[in-house]
Structure 1
Amino acid sequence: MRTVAVAVTDGMLHFELSVAYEVFGSAPADVTEPWYRLLGCGPGTVRAGGFRLEPDHGLDRLPTADTVIVPGWADVDVEPPGDLVDAVRAAHRAGARVASLCTGAFVLAAAGLLDGRRATTHWAHTGALAARYPRVQVDPDVLYVDNGSVLTSAGKAAAMDLCLHLVRLDRGSAVANAVARRLVVPPHRAGGQAQFVPSPVPAQENHPLAELFPWAIERLDHPLTVEDLARRAAMSSRNLGRQFRSVTGTTPLQWLLTQRIRRAQELLETTDDSVEAIAAATGMGTGTTLRRHFNRTVGVPPDSYRRTFRRSRAEGAADGTTTSERQAATSQT
C-alpha cells in the first residue's frame, strides 16, 4: 500500500486539497485491492478560507511517505513557509515522489526541486513563477508535467488530471478510469491550458491601436496583412510593430492569428458549421490551415474542442450558465 501525504498549511487552496482527498482517500467500489494510506500533515491547526483544519500528523511525517502532494495557496506573492519548504525538500531527498497542484509549484521551486526541470502552474501565475525562479523551465501550455520524482500541475481542474495520472502510474489505466467514473470526470483530457486562457485584448482604451482592434476583429474573414493594419492605423509597418509590442506584447500577425483562433472557438461552440466554413469565416482559407494553427495554439483539434465545449454548453443550459462563463470559471478560479 502506497502512503500519500498531503502537506497542508495556512492559506492553502481547499479545492486542490479536496481533489487529493477525493482521489487518494478512498477506493472506487469495484476496486478490491488495498488502496492508498492518506496522511494529512501540517504545522498544527491551519486555516484555509473559512475553514480550520487539524492535521493528524506534523510536517515531519512527509519524508516517510511514498508520495507527497503539495496543494496551492492563494497568496503567491508571499514566500512559502520555510518549515513547509524544508519538509518537502527532505521528503524528496528521502526518495518520495513529490507532486504540486496549481500554485503548489512555488513550494517545489523554493525547495530547489524544479531547478533545471520543466514545470507548470496555473496560467495566471506562470510568469511570476518564471520570474522568481529563473532556473525553472516554466511551460504555460500544459495541464501537468511529469519529471518522474517531481510533478507539477496547472490550475484547479488540472489538479484532478495530475492525481488521476498518479493513480494510472501506480495502479494502471483500468483503476484510474474507475476513479474517474466515480468522480464523474474524464480519465484523461486532451490539450493544455491554452484552451482555457482568454485571448489577450488590452483592457485600456487610451492607446494608439484602440480604434484598430475592433476594425480588424470585424474583418477577420479578410486576408489582412501588416500593411493593411498599418494603413488603417496611419503609421508605418515598423511603428505598428512597436505599438503592438507595447500594447499587446506580441506581433501584429500573432495578434491576428489569436483573434482568428478565438473566433473559430466561438463558431465551434455555437454553430454546426463545418471546419471548412469556419476556416473561411476566420480568414484561415482552408480547413487544413485552420486545423494546423488551432491544434498548435489550443492544443486539441477543432473537432475535439467542439465536442468538449458543445457538451459544456448543453450542461450550462441545464444550470443556467453559458459556455463563456464556464470557460472563465475554469481559467480564473
Structure 2
Amino acid sequence: MPMHTPLPPTRKDTRADPDFRPHRVVVLALDGVLPFELGIPHRIFGRPRDTRRRYLYEVVTCSIRPPGPVETDADFAIEVAHGPEALATADTVIVPASYELGPVFEEGVLTDELAAALAHIRPGTRLASICTGGYVLAAAGHLDGRPAATHWADAEHFQRIFPRIRVDADVLFIDDGDVLTSAGVAAGIDLCLHMVRRDHGTAVANEVARRTVVPPHRDGGQAQYIQRPVPEPQLATTTAARAWALGRLHEPLQLRDMAEQESMSVRTFTRRFREEVGVSPGQWLTQQRVERARHLLESTDLSVDQVARAAGFGTAQSMRQHLQTALGVTPTAYRRTFRATTAPH
C-alpha cells in the first residue's frame, strides 16, 4: 500500500495501528453536487473492517478550491475540510454527480480550475464516477476508448459529446479495471458495493449491504427503470420463478422448469424475464451461481469440487471457466485472496 501525505484525521479508531494504512478513498465534491450521491462513498466505504477491527478504508472529501463551502443542488451548502491537494493522497478517487458542470457537460472540456485539481491525482490511482460524474473523467481523457455507464437519461448526450467512449445505457455500472463508472443516483451504491466486493470479497460487501438495508447485488440493468411508452397493465412477474430457482441452484435447472413456476410458455417467460431483470434467465442463473460459489469459497472448507456441485456448476472445470470469465481468477486464487482475511462489522 502506498504511503500517503498526512491529512487531518477523519475519524477516530481506538484500535489504530501505526503500521497499517487503510485504502484511502477521496471524494471530489464539485459545485452543484447531489448530496445523496456525495454521501454514498462515505456510507459504503466507511463500514468495512478487518479481523483486527481496523477500518479497511479511509474516506476523505475534497473540493477543487481551498477548504470551505461547496454549493449543492439542494437548499444548503456543505463545508469541505480539504482542498485539491487531497487528491494526491488517494488510492481511489470518486467523482459524484453535479448539476453545475458547465463546459464539462456542455462541451466536454475541463475548466482550468478543475484541470489543475485533477492534475494532483497520481498515476495508477483507481478512478470511479457516479452518474454525471463520468463527464469529468471523460473530459479528462480517462474514458477514451473505454466502455462507460451514465444515467440512461444522459446516455445519448454523453455519447454525442464523447464519441470515443463506448457508452452502455443499459447497465448499472461498468468495471473496466482501474476506471469504473455507474448509472445514476442509487446505482452509485451498486458501484461502491462492487468495489468493496472486489477488494475484500462477498462476505464483507454483503454485510455492508445488510447494514445499509440494500440488496448486495441488484439483478439486471437500467433498462428496467426506463419508462415504456405504453406500459402493459397487470403484467405477470417472474419473481416466484427466481425465488424457486435460488433454492435449487445446485440442481440442473431447465428453462421450462422456471417457466412452469409462473404458468407461462418458455417464450413468454423468457421475454418477461428479460424485461424485468435485464438479462436472460440463463445469464441470471450463471450470475447467481457465481455469487454462491464466491460465498462458499470464502466461508467454508468445502473442496473446489464440492463448491462446484453446491453452486450448480457440476464440475470444477465448469466453475473455473465461469469464475475466470466473471472475476478473472481461478477458484483457488479467489479463496486464497478472500478466505477469512476480513471480518464484517
Where on the TM-score scale, by shorter chain, does this alignment land: which range? Answer: 0.5 to 0.7
Q: Is the 8 A contact 2:50 2:56 kept in 1?
A: no
- CA 1:100/1:180 → structure 2, altered by over 3 Å: closer, same or farther? same
Tell me which stretches of 4 or more aligned residues in structure 1 moved more than 6 Å: 28-31, 269-272, 276-279
The DSSP-based 3-state class of the residue aligned with 1:195 is helix
Aligned to 2:117: 87
List alignment gaps of at least 5 residues for structure 2: 1-21, 242-257, 285-345
Separation in 1, partners of 2:80, 2:101: 23
SS at match of 1:140: coil
Equivalent runs, 1:53-202 vs 2, <5 Å: 53-75=78-100, 78-79=103-104, 82=111, 83-88=113-118, 90-91=120-121, 93-199=122-228, 201=229
Secondary structure of the residue that 2:104 maps to in structure 1? coil
Percent pairwise identity: 45
Q: RCO higher in 1 or 2 (8 Å CA, sep ≥ 6)?
A: 2
Name the residue aligned to 1:46: 70
Letter in 1 for 2:56: W
Flag the 1:293–1:266 CA change in 2: closer, same or farther, 3 A: closer
**Contact 1:20 / 1:163 at 8 angstroms: preserved in 2?**
yes
Matched, 1:11 2:32: yes
Distance 1:179 1:36, change over 3 A: same
In 1, Cα distance between the equivalents of 2:273 and 2:125? 36
Instruction: Output one character per residue of 1:9-55: Cα deviation in whole Å (capped at 9) or x when no partner.
Output: 11011111111111123447998233311111112420112222221
SS of corresponding position for 1:45: strand
Q: Partner letter of residue 45 of structure 1?
A: P
Q: How many aligned positions are there?
A: 236
Q: Secondary structure at the match of 1:164?
A: helix
8 Å CA contact 2:32–2:98 kept in 1: the answer is: yes
Residues 156-208 of structure 1 show CA distances to partners (whole Å, capped at 9, x for unaligned) of 11100000011111121111111101101111111100111111x2xxxxxxx
The alignment's TM-score, normalised by the length of structure 2, stands at: 0.61
Asked whether 1:22 is paired with 2:43, we answer yes
**Contact 1:161 / 1:189 at 8 angstroms: preserved in 2?**
yes
* Residue 134 (structure 1) shift: 0.5
Structure number with bigger Rg:
1
Q: Which runs of structure 2 are paired with 1:257-276 in the superposition (5 Å)?
A: 262-263=231-232, 266-268=235-237
Deviation of 1:290 after TM superposition, in Å, equals 2.4
Equivalent-residue separation in structure 2 for 1:39 and 1:23 (angstroms): 13
User: Structure 1 or 2: larger helix share?
Assistant: 1
8 Å CA contact retained: 1:294, 1:301: no
Q: Which amino acid aligns with 2:186?
A: A
Q: Does 1:2 align with 2:23?
A: yes
Give the alignment's TM-score, normalised by structure 1. 0.63
Q: 2:55 aligns with which of 11, 14, 34?
A: 34
Question: Could you say which residue in structure 1 is the equivalent of 2:278?
Answer: 299
* CA-based RMSD: 3.1
Secondary structure (helix, strand or coil) at the match of 2:128 reads strand
Cα distance between partner residues in 1 of 2:100 and 2:147: 23
Q: Hey, what's the Cα distance between the residues in 1 that align with 2:38 and 2:167?
A: 23
| C-alpha contact (below 8 Å) 1:63/1:96 kept by paired residues | no
Residues of 2 paired with 1:85 and 1:265: CA distance? 51
